């Protein structure tokens, strides 16, 4: 199955990110129809169903239409800079083990082919705060990080400082949004069940991630 919804990457851009999504549809088959419907003007490079079957919809060299409006690391047109992976999931259910195993195998190849570092694997919610929430609070980011396929912060706690939290979040890659939305967005990925105001754990985790991002940039 191939989607007609794609085009060339703009301005000579190449994949430097992988954006993970969930379909928020009842079945993988309905999601596949939507991703291949020219009237919907939406697509992704890959769709993975709950059983672990991977369907390639758009060639990696091309620009799929999965990310929409948003930015990461201070730059827009995420579609031209990324590879999009859709996971068949209704948004409320746990992700199946076979699906996660297939995602890990797929990600490993993508990161190797395009020399994308682990911090380049992001959530749709990361680059579109307030507009998107996928792959949601049930997605196991720590599992990916343990295999070098994404990042996960070290446990810790530090002084609560809203300005430093915002600066570190921006350094990691998050867009410039209001404080409440920024906190919700960071927690959605790294502390999905946390509640209440900004606290020392939030500040410590984003400081750790920002520090790693800075080290990675220095190494390259």
The rounded distance, in Å, linking the Cα atoms of 152 and 10 is 31
Which residue in 19, 30, 33, 28 sits closest to 69, CA to CA?
19
* Pair 70, 128: CB distance under 8 Å: yes
Q: Which residue has the tokens 């409006």?
A: 69
CB neighbour class for 6 (10 Å; exposed up to 12, middle 13-18, buried from 19): buried
Q: Is 86 a catalytic residue?
A: yes
Q: Which of 39, 41, 60, 86 is catalytic?
A: 86
Hey, which residues are catalytic here?
86
């Amino acid at each position: 199955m191939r989607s007609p919804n794609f085009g060339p990457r703009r301005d000579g851009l190449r994949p430097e990110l992988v954006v993970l999504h969930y379909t928020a549809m009842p079945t993988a088959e309905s999601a596949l129809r939507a991703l291949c419907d020219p009237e919907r003007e939406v697509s992704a490079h890959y769709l993975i169903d709950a059983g672990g079957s991977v369907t390639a919809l758009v060639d990696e060299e091309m620009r799929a239409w999965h990310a929409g409006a948003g930015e990461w690391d201070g730059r827009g047109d995420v579609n031209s800079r990324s590879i999009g992976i859709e996971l068949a999931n209704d948004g409320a259910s746990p992700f199946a083990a076979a699906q996660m195993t297939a995602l890990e195998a797929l990600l490993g190849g993508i990161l190797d082919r395009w020399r994308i570092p682990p911090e380049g694997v992001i959530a749709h919610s990361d680059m579109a705060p307030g507009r998107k929430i996928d792959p949601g609070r049930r997605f196991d980011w720590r599992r990916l990080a343990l295999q070098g396929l994404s990042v996960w912060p070290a446990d810790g706690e530090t002084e609560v400082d809203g300005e430093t939290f915002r600066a570190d979040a921006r350094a990691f890659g998050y867009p410039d949004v209001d404080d409440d939305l920024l906190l919700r967005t960071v927690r959605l990925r790294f502390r999905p069940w946390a509640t209440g105001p900004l606290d020392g754990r939030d500040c410590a985790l984003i400081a750790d991630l920002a520090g790693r991002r800075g080290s990675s940039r220095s190494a390259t």
